[in-house]
Amino acid sequence: MIEIRWHGRGGQGAVTSVEMLALAAIEEGKYAQGFPAFGPERRGAPVMAFNRVSDKPIKIRSGIYRPDVVVVLDPSLVSLVPVTDGLKPDGILIVNTSKTASEIRKVLNYKGKLFTVDATHIAKEELGVPISNTTMLGAVLKATGVLKMDAMKSPLEHRFGRVAGKNMTAMKRAFNEMKQAKAA
């Protein structure tokens, strides 16, 4: 089983990404959970959302405290929220940023496996808006191999209708443009 924690801001679509990843996993014959963790947050406030994906039934019904993967949708959260808390020593950190991996490592004092992609830039070019949630799904697929890219097609079409193709293009670009940082 793989457990993923998403960090974003209210209105950025973290919950939407979690939902689409879970639906795609189920369509691919896996077991999945996708759920948010928020209370009275408002648009722009930090939020978290979570995924579990497994080849076997998932019997856990609690929050995720020791994720295998952490995804950061909003680069400003890197210095505001303890995004690496609980991340397993062999875990994966994926950050939407235009900064270099060494800059991210320095801010977080993080030495583990790190992937970066400028998903906001890709989203602006492909979607016309700086909302990086579906773009970051491509980065998650590349870094984890949890699902095949084709598994995302149906959930994207269901959620976004006629603009699903643009979202798929943005996802594929993130998949291809993501960089793995050298080991610290």
- The CATH code of the domain that includes 86 is 3.40.920.10
Residue keyed to tokens 């992937």: 115
What's the rounded Cα separation, in Å, for the pair 118 and 177?
8
Maximum Cα–Cα distance across the chain? 43
Instruction: Report residue 39's pLDDT band, with 50, 70 and 90 as the boundaries.
Output: low
Name the DSSP letter for residue 181: P
What is the mean predicted confidence (pLDDT) over 16-27? 95
Burial (0-12, 13-18, 19+ Cβ within 10 Å), 167: buried
Instruction: Report residue 45's pLDDT band, with 50, 70 and 90 as the boundaries.
Output: confident
What's the rounded Cα separation, in Å, for the pair 11 and 28?
28
Count structural domains, the chain. 1
What's the rounded Cα separation, in Å, for the pair 43 and 25?
28
Per-residue model confidence as pLDDT tens digits over 122-176: 999 999 999 899 999 999 999 999 999 999 999 999 999 999 999 999 999 999 9
Instruction: Report residue 184's pLDDT band, with 50, 70 and 90 as the boundaries.
Output: low
User: Average pLDDT, whole number, for the chain?
Assistant: 93
Q: Which domain does 52 fall in, by range?
A: 2-180
